Amino acid sequence: MIDDILHRHFTRIARRYRKVRTTDRPPIDFIHRKLNELKEIKAVDLGCGTGRYDRELFKKLGKRLFLFCIDENKDMLLQLMEYFSLCNINQYTPIRSLGRDIPLSTNTINCVFSFNAVQHFNLTMVMKESARVLRKNGYLFIYTRLRSQNKRNIWGMYCPKFYEKEKRLYEIEDIESEISKIAALELESVKYFKFRRLYSLDFLIKQARNRHYSTFCLYSEKELEDALCIFEENISCKFPNTEKVTWIDEYTMFIIRKN
Report pLDDT digits (tens) over 35-49.
Answer: 999 999 999 999 999
Domain with 67, as residue range(s), is 2-146+168-195+250-258
Sheet strand arrangement including 134-144:
92-96, 65-71, 41-46, 109-115, 134-144, 245-258, 185-199
In a domain, 27, yes or no: yes
Question: What residues does 196 pair with on adjacent strands?
Answer: 248
Residue 186 has pLDDT above 90, yes or no: yes
What is the domain count for the chain?
1
Single-letter code of the amino acid located at 44:
V
How far apart CA 9 and CA 13 sit, in angstroms, is 6
Phi-psi group of 219: left, alpha or beta (phi > 0 → left; psi -120 to 50 → alpha; rest → beta): beta
pLDDT, residue 10, reads: 86
Taking Cα atoms as reference points, which of 145, 169, 154, 118 lies closest to residue 250? 145
Q: How far is CA 256 from the centre of its chain?
A: 17
Question: What is the predicted pLDDT for the residue at 1?
Answer: 61
Question: What is the average pLDDT across 1-9?
Answer: 77
Mean of the per-residue pLDDT values for the chain?
95
What is the per-residue pLDDT across 215-257, written as a single tens digit (0 to 9) for each? 999 999 999 999 999 999 999 999 999 999 999 999 999 999 9
Q: Tell me the pTM.
A: 0.95
For residue 132, the domain's CATH number is 3.40.50.150
Q: What is the mean pLDDT of residues 111-117?
A: 96
Residue 99 has pLDDT above 70, yes or no: no
Query: Is residue 216 in a domain?
Result: no
- Is residue 178, in this structure, part of any structural domain at all? yes
- Indicate if the alpha-carbon torsion angle 240, 147, 2, 24 is positive or negative: positive
Task: For residues 32 and 45, give the distance between their C-alpha atoms in angstroms, rounded to a whole number.
Answer: 15
